[in-house]
Structures are given as structure tokens and as C-alpha cells.
Amino acid sequence: MWLDGLYMASPFLAEYAKVFERPELMDEAAHQILLIERKTRDKRTGLLYHGWDESKEQEWADSLTGLSSHFWSRAMGWYSMAVVDCLEHYPVTHPKRGTIMGIFERMCHALARVQEPATGLWYQVLDQGERKGNYLEATGSIMFVYAMAKGQRLGYLNSGLRSVMLKGYQGIIGRLVTEDEQGVHLHQICHGAGLSHDRNGSFDYYISEAVVSDHYMGVGPLLLAALEVERNLEQK
């Protein structure tokens, strides 16, 4: 299982289940969210590893745990967005809603602990701080801000995380966004990363991927995050 893959299906599945009254599909979305969190969460940091292989046979998987080696910011970003977007569709009576809210809050507090204090941003490899080659990455930072802002608006998170969210947003706008005669630009975007036979999930691998500007994987989430932050501010 790949952590980032949860966003590609689960929010659609949850909304489809709600609209077409298919409770078994709502249960399946919850199962996927809870399963990968249980398998990938590091008990010490609360962060989630990028991938888990039940067979422990993939090149990137640890032979004992089946886990990949590091916490990639965008993988956790996609997952955080998936969780909050799914929660929006769950009725208060759903038996797994409270559990999902709990893991969402726990995850956001884990992310708050690795937020870079000077900028409010998050590193490409979340727990490696200023290790040589690591950098403050746009997409993960933006996705975390979106998830926290939406989570607070909908009442899934306590107000203590609001300052984390706002500091992150200020860091994005102040340090990663520029404007010139051609328009507005977003920088420090990891072009892409994954886990496969030639992508081993090492620290050196994650920092070796190209860093680009104005990629849709950053621009799209930035629009979503900006809207959620504005709505959050209007509530106050």
C-alpha cells in the first residue's frame, strides 16, 4: 500500500457512497484509511511511512516490517487531504467516524512537531530537519495547511492547531510564492517521487528528485488551501 494512493480513490468513494446510499462503500473507504494508518504509523514520532508491503518482498520494503524507510512529506500530505475530505461525507452515526477523527487529530499533532519553526514549512523528508540536501518542500506544506484549515472549519481539530496552520500558510505565501509580469509562481515543488524497483525510498532518493516551479501538484492544492484558510479566517 502507498500512503499517497489513498487520496486517489477514497474521497470519491466516500462521496459516491453518500450520494448513492451505498453504506458498504463508506465502510470500505474507512477500512482503507484505518488499515494504512495502522500499518504505516511510527509509534515514536506519530508520522506515517510512505509505503507498506505485506509480503516484505519489494526492493524498498524492510525485510522485517515491510515498511519503506522514510516519511515523505507529500505522501502524508495526500493522506491528510484524503482523511479530511472523507470525513466530510461520514454521518455522525457511522461507527468508524470517531476513530478516523482521532487518527486525523493525532497525525496533525505529529506534523506540528516537525514543522520548521523559522518558516512554518515542512521538509521533503519530514523528520530529517536540516540534514544536508533536505529542503522545505511546497506540496507537502500546502497539503498540511489545507487539511488543518478544513479540519478546524468542520470541527475535527481543536483550536490549538490553528497557529500551526496559519504559520504554515504565511510561510508558503511569503517564501514559496512570487509574482512577476507573467503572473504568480509557486516554487520548491518536488516533481515526483514513488516506490518501485528503481526508487528505493532512501533519503538520497527523495532529495534526488527534480525540484520545479508551477507544477500542478503544487498549484492545485494551493488553490484549495487558500480557499480553506480564507474560510477559516472568516469564522474568526
SS3 sequence of 96-130: CHHHHHHHHHHHHHHHHHCCCCCCCCCECEHHHCC
* DSSP H or E stretch at residue 79: helix 73-87
SS3 sequence of 32-69: HHHHHHHHHECCCCCCECCEECCCCCCCCCCCCCCECC
Q: Are 187 and 215 in contact (CB under 8 A)?
A: no
- The values of phi and psi at residue 20, to 5°, are -100, 10
* C-alpha cell, 171: 510561510
Q: Which residues are 72's β-sheet partners?
A: 125
Active site residue 4: yes
Which of 4, 53, 180, 204 is labelled catalytic? 4
The SS3 assignment for 21 reads: coil
138: nearest Cα among 74, 85, 193: 74
Q: Are 187 and 178 in contact (CB under 8 A)?
A: yes
Residues involved in catalysis: 4
